[in-house]
């Protein structure tokens, strides 16, 4: 792969969009490679994914404006479908995906981060949907996911004004769950960059997730995602089904058994995995 790096460490894996010269902008090839990478994640082993961008400056600076500038209507639609299919694959991926946003997350960059389950960012991150300034609407789900995450009023303000916001504001409006700073010593020297600390924080969170019962975690993701699409009566039925689905699994037997045996060490053990 030219533009995607994939690294698995035990039960967590990191996908890095690696097109640093173009600030990791998404062209067709990046989207194709990302799609293929997701198809090849070993779901028997990996329990949580991290998505980040190469370098310190940018997560993803949007869809590739150069490539888009000459598209016909039909090509634009095909490009939009390619992006939407990959983003939806991430959103419905069986295991949780954490976006570690290391800098610019603009346009398609903000949209791909919003397709992940959880977003944490470095202190230099910047978010925005600048599309209306380019004569287009946010086309990779931005009008839909931003409104669901931060509310319609705030999403409309950000989208209509095309204003970029910095990490603290993204945190304040609930677009990211945490902002990670660089480590600076008493003399003011940076001893760990914000990106390094961001990846460490993402890995720590991923490891915590990976230590929990995998079928239960997967079913929680499904219940939240699918429940948000329907009214509460239907949502509760989705939850009931996925709750029931956990029973008779090794996860449930070991998880509850560990508690009942009051064996603290056992309780912390990773429960067996049954692929579903
Ligand atoms: N596309 C292509 N190249 C990009 C790029 C992008 N989005 N962003 C940056 N680059 C490239 C620059 O062209 C430059 O390349 P060289 O000139 O060195 O060859 C290199 O990355 C470094 O960028 P800068 O020199 O501009 O770096 P600065 O630090 O000065 O500025 C910046 C950083 C992020 C503020 C600036 O690069 C910038 O404003 N970039 C564009 C950000 C943006 O507007 N992004 C949104 C793109 S629109 C659709 C679905 C989805 C979409 C569209 C259609 N359909 C359903 C059909 C999505 C649209 C978008 O994402």
- Mean pLDDT in order along the chain per 10 residues (276 residues): 97 98 97 98 96 98 94 91 96 98 98 98 98 93 96 98 98 98 96 97 97 94 97 98 93 86 61 50
Q: Which of 65, 108, 124 to mutate to test the pocket of ligand 1 (most atoms within 8 A of CB)?
A: 65
Percent of the chain that is helix, strand, coil (3-state, to 5): 50, 20, 35
Question: Which domains does the chain carry?
Answer: 4-210 (3.90.226.10), 214-269 (1.10.12.10)
42's tokens: 């070993």
Q: Is residue 107 within 6 Å of ligand 1 at its C-beta?
A: yes
**What pLDDT, on a 0 to 100 scale, did the predictor assign at position 263?**
66
User: E-assigned strands of 80-162?
Assistant: 97-101, 104-106, 118-122, 126-128
161's tokens: 């004004």
State the distance from the centre of ligand 1 to the C-alpha of 69, rounded, in angstroms. Answer: 12
Kindly report the protein residue whose alpha carbon is nearest to atom 12 of ligand 1: 22
Q: If you ran DSSP here, which 8-state letter would residue 60 be given?
A: E
**What pLDDT, on a 0 to 100 scale, did the predictor assign at position 259?**
83
**What pLDDT, on a 0 to 100 scale, did the predictor assign at position 275?**
47
Active site (annotated) includes residue 240: no
Angle at 88 between CA 274 and CA 197, to 5 degrees: 75
3 state SS for 10-50: CCEEEEEECCHHHCCCECHHHHHHHHHHHHCCCCCCCCEEE
**What pLDDT, on a 0 to 100 scale, did the predictor assign at position 274?**
52
d(CA 267, CA 5) in angstroms, rounded, equals 35
**What pLDDT, on a 0 to 100 scale, did the predictor assign at position 105?**
98
Among 33, 45, 56, 111, the active-site one is: 111
d(CA 48, CA 120) in angstroms, rounded, equals 15
> What is the Rg, in whole angstroms, of the alpha carbon atoms belonging to the chain?
20
d(CA 133, CA 152) in angstroms, rounded, equals 20
**What pLDDT, on a 0 to 100 scale, did the predictor assign at position 276?**
45
Q: If you ran DSSP here, which 8-state letter would residue 148 be given?
A: H
d(CA 131, CA 269) in angstroms, rounded, equals 47
Active site (annotated) includes residue 186: no
Q: If you ran DSSP here, which 8-state letter would residue 271 be given?
A: P
Q: Is residue 139 within 6 Å of ligand 1 at its C-beta?
A: yes
Sign of CA dihedral 133, 137, 141, 147: positive
């Amino acid at each position: 792969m030219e533009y995607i790096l994939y690294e698995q460490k035990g039960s967590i894996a990191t996908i890095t969009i690696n097109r640093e010269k173009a600030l990791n902008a998404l062209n067709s090839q990046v989207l194709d490679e990302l799609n293929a990478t997701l198809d090849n994640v070993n779901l028997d082993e990996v329990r949580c994914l991290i998505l980040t961008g190469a370098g310190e400056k940018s997560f993803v600076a949007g869809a590739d404006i150069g490539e888009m500038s000459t598209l016909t209507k039909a090509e634009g639609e095909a490009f939009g479908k390619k992006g939407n299919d990959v983003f939806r694959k991430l959103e419905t991926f069986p295991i949780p995906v954490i976006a570690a946003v290391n800098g610019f997350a603009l346009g398609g960059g903000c949209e791909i981060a919003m397709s992940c389950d959880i977003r944490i960012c470095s202190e230099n991150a910047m978010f925005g949907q600048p599309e209306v300034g380019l004569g287009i609407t946010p086309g990779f789900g931005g009008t839909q996911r931003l409104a669901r995450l931060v509310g319609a009023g705030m999403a409309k303000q950000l989208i209509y004004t095309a204003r970029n916001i910095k990490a603290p504001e993204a945190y304040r409006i609930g677009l990211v769950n945490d902002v990670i700073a660089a480590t600076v010593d008493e003399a003011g020297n940076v001893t760990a960059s914000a990106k390094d600390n961001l990846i460490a924080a993402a890995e720590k969170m991923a490891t915590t997730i990976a230590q929990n019962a995998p079928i239960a975690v997967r079913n929680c993701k499904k219940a939240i995602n699918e429940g948000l699409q329907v009214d509460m009566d239907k949502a509760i039925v989705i939850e009931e089904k996925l709750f029931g689905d956990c029973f008779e699994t090794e996860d449930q037997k070991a998880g509850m058994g560990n508690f009942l045996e009051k064996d603290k060490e056992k309780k912390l053990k990773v429960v067996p995995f049954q692929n579903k």
